[in-house]
Amino acid sequence: MTQPGYDAVAERYSEAFPTPYQTPLERHVVAAFADLVRERTLEGIVLDVGCGLGHVTADLAGRGLDVVGVDPSREMLEIARRNYPELRFVQDDAQLESMNLGGQSVAAVLARCSLIHLPPSDVPNVLAGWAVRMAPGALVAVAGQTTDSVGEVSEFDHAVAPAWRWHPDRLAEALSEAGFEEVWRTISRPDAHHSFPELHLVARRRCWV
Ligand SMILES: C[S@@+](CC[C@H](N)C(=O)[O-])C[C@H]1O[C@@H](n2cnc3c(N)ncnc32)[C@H](O)[C@@H]1O
């Protein structure tokens, strides 16, 4: 398994994005998510799904979380391991099928700008797969480019790999159908770094799926 688009650009990507966040808001949103995860004191590891270069994985580790970075791109992971040799990285995609958790449960999942690369019809299955590995109260945060068009999930022109923008309510609905209820969301408007609005949506695993 690999991710040919990101494999091809990994070194250039690393030069273009040497830091985890493009804006202070992104940093604060991830920090708020990490605070919430710590407050819950749930057993288990935190997965950074689609961790790419590992910068955000390292930020989560620095915030006291027991985090594992997961990414299908061999080349992105090679750079992540070079940048952060003390952290754990596993080659897998969002489905987490080849990941051996060794009986550990998952306390939280962060997926920033990675679920956007899944064909929308694959997303419900991926979210359901996370839900079965998570105890009630466990948290997910899904982030990525979004759209203002109500109800829409639309493919957009992404420089590296096919990608889709989800309207926030559509994503919240997909999460709900998989067993997660929304806790909060942030939406930022396009800026110097982002051509589209950006969504961070946090949800918690319900007691029932
Ligand atoms: C834009 S980068 C985001 C990296 C990191 N999450 C961040 O916030 O900086 C997108 C990452 O998603 C990964 N990705 C692409 N398809 C994926 C999939 N099906 N499952 C998990 N990750 C995927 C890519 O390999 C790439 O490293």
State pLDDT tens for residues 14-62. 999 999 999 999 999 999 999 999 998 888 999 999 999 999 999 999 9
CA 50 to ligand 1 center in whole angstroms: 3
Residue 145 in this model has a pLDDT that exceeds 80:
yes
| 3-class DSSP state of 118 | coil
Residue nearest ligand 1's atom 8 by CA: 112
Q: Is 117 in the pocket of ligand 1 (CB under 6 A)?
A: yes
Residue 208 in this model has a pLDDT that exceeds 80:
no
- CA-to-CA distance for 170 and 172, rounded, in angstroms? 5
At 28 the pLDDT is: 98
CA 77 to ligand 1 center in whole angstroms: 10
Q: How confident is the model at residue 1 (pLDDT cuts 50, 70, 90)?
A: confident
Q: How confident is the model at residue 160 (pLDDT cuts 50, 70, 90)?
A: very high
Which of 117, 126, 165, 198 for a ligand 1 pocket mutation test, highest count of atoms within 8 Å of Cβ? Answer: 117
Which of 23, 57, 71, 123 for a ligand 1 pocket mutation test, highest count of atoms within 8 Å of Cβ? Answer: 71
Which of 2, 3, 67, 89 for a ligand 1 pocket mutation test, highest count of atoms within 8 Å of Cβ? Answer: 3
* pLDDT tens figures, 73-102: 999 999 999 999 999 999 999 999 888 777
Residue nearest ligand 1's atom 18 by CA: 93
Is 172 within 8 Å of 201 (Cβ atoms)?
yes
Residue 209 in this model has a pLDDT that exceeds 70:
no
Q: Hey, what CATH topology would domain 6-93+103-205 get?
A: Rossmann fold (3.40.50)
Contacts (Cβ under 8 Å, ≥6 apart) of 12? none
- Domain boundaries, given as residue ranges, for the chain: 6-93+103-205
Contacts (Cβ under 8 Å, ≥6 apart) of 50? 70, 71, 94, 111, 112, 113, 114, 115, 117
Determine what percent of the chain falls in helix, strand and coil, rounding each to the nearest 5.
Answer: 35, 25, 40
- CA-to-CA distance for 66 and 63, rounded, in angstroms? 9
Phi-psi region of 156 (alpha: psi -120 to 50; beta: other; left: phi over 0): beta
| 3-class DSSP state of 142 | strand
Is 182 within 8 Å of 172 (Cβ atoms)?
yes
- CA-to-CA distance for 163 and 169, rounded, in angstroms? 18
Instruction: Give strand pairing partners of 69.
Output: 48, 89
